[in-house]
Amino acid sequence: MTYVSPTGEFTRDQRYIATRITADGSDGYPAEPGRYRLVVSRACPWASRVVIVRRLLGLEPVLSMAVAGPTHDERSWTFDLDPGGRDPVLGIERLRDAYLARFPDYDRGITVPAIVDVSTGQVVTNDYAPMTLDLSTQWRAYHRPGAPDLYPESLRGEIDQVNAVVFEDVNDGVYQCGFAGGQEAYEEAYDRLFARLDWLADRLARRRYLVGDTITEADVRLFTTLVRFDAVYHGHFKCNREKLTEMPVLWAYARDLFQTPGFGDTVDFDHIKRHYYEVHRDINPTGIVPAGPDLSGWLTPHGREAMGGRPFGAGCEPGPLSDAEAVPAGHTPLRAAA
């Protein structure tokens, strides 16, 4: 759910279900293999964070994943990609069924990502910000051998600081532009967005990753906005001072991450474009989905390996995606259609 103030400012409803899944089960939900199902849409940047972190940490065998279709109506996300339009594990047609199973009078947004308790069919949490941090810290017993430390204790203060300004000005900033209800509110959000992108470009001109010399949670959070920038935010959300491909440092940084296993191989540009352009009819009344942009540039050399750094620290990259979780051919330049 979103709101626009009388003066035109977009405000995100952040009343999420704050239940946490922890190692000790202090909220009543202990981290256990096979107990939960992660529900995502590949269109959603907040859900994409969890998809990437789950893959980097190798949690696929212990936390199954349901992929909702790229579009939804006012009721909720649907499982129209699955046979019969039902998730094969939860047995439901709409994500809202899991929300109402726990909260019959639930009156907030039915959002992804969400984690559902398989045995009860009830949603546990949709609080996406701590969700990825908990995968890093509370599910550690189930990480794959060689999994990176995406939230190292010694860097958490700096990661949190970077994440806070990136969320306000970039992750949410593109939405503040796109859903602004007035010219002044739009221009203020636009100025904050590009000032922060300039700040990030300056920071990344001197270092390969945002915090430290390895990939961290901060890189995951920025990447999911950058990868959508030219495909939807530049035109659809009027974030058009320049394209990502016209910002040399950020474009090279984004390509570096995209070509790192766990990032680009989870991105579905078809779902991303269909969601934004088909669902946001208040911004795009015709529902026409643009044919572009050309995606081949994502695979061009980026040169940032010369800056040093170790993508996975002392660990190693994740193995190949399973066929069941691979992005469909033609939806990403990593798997071109035949």
Give yes or no: residues 53 and 128 share one domain. Answer: yes
Answer yes or no: is 139 a known binding residue. Answer: no
Give yes or no: residues 189 and 306 share one domain. Answer: yes
**Contact assessment for residue 210 and residue 204, using Cβ atoms and an 8 Å cutoff:** yes
Global pTM value: 0.97
Rounded average pLDDT per 10-residue block, the chain, 338 residues: 74 93 98 98 98 98 98 91 97 98 96 98 98 98 98 98 98 98 97 98 98 98 98 98 98 98 98 97 96 97 97 97 95 82
- 66 bridge partner residues: 39
Tokens describing residue 257? 């991450």
- State residue 2's pLDDT score: 58
In a domain, 59, yes or no: yes
Which of 142, 166, 189 represents a domain boundary (last residue)?
142
- The active-site residue out of 36, 128, 175, 276 is 175
In a domain, 62, yes or no: yes
Give yes or no: residues 129 and 168 share one domain. Answer: no
Give yes or no: residues 308 and 239 share one domain. Answer: yes
My answer on whether omega of the bond before 293 falls inside 30° of 0, hence cis, is yes
Q: Which residues contact 94 (CB under 8 A, 6 or more apart)?
A: 75, 76, 77, 78, 79, 110
In a domain, 148, yes or no: no
Domain CATH number, residue 71: 3.40.30.10
Q: Does the annotation count 253 as an active-site position?
A: no
HSE (side-chain half, CA atoms, 13 Å) at 88? 7
Give yes or no: residues 164 and 263 share one domain. Answer: yes
Q: Does the annotation count 239 as an active-site position?
A: no
Domain CATH number, residue 226: 1.20.1050.10
Give yes or no: residues 134 and 222 share one domain. Answer: no
- State residue 77's pLDDT score: 97
Which of 112, 142, 172 represents a domain boundary (last residue)?
142
Which of 99, 116, 142 represents a domain boundary (last residue)?
142
Query: Which 3-state string (H, E, C) describes the chain?
Result: CEEECCCCCEEECCCCCCCCCECCCCCCCECCCCCEEEEECCCCHHHHHHHHHHHHHCCCCCCEEEECCCCECCCCEECCCCHHHCCCCCCCCECHHHHHHHCCCCCCCCCCCEEEECCCCEEEECCHHHHHHHHHHCCHHHCCCCCCCCCCHHHHHHHHHHHHHHHHHHHCHHHHHHCCCCHHHHHHHHHHHHHHHHHHHHHHCCCCCCCCCCCCHHHHHHHHHHHHHHHHHCCCCCCCCCCHHHCHHHHHHHHHHHCCCCCHHHCCHHHHHHHHHHHCCCCCCCCCCCCCCCCHHHHCCCCHHHHCCCCCCCCCCCCCCCHHHCCCCCCCHHHCCC
Give yes or no: residues 175 and 259 share one domain. Answer: yes
d(CA 273, CA 109): 21
- State residue 4's pLDDT score: 78
- The active-site residue out of 36, 44, 142, 277 is 44
Give yes or no: residues 165 and 254 share one domain. Answer: yes
Say how many domains are in the chain.
2
Q: Are strands 114-117 and 36-40 parallel, antiparallel or unpaired?
A: antiparallel
Q: Which domain holds residue 247?
A: 153-335
Question: In angstroms, how far is CA 327 from the centroid of its own chain?
Answer: 15
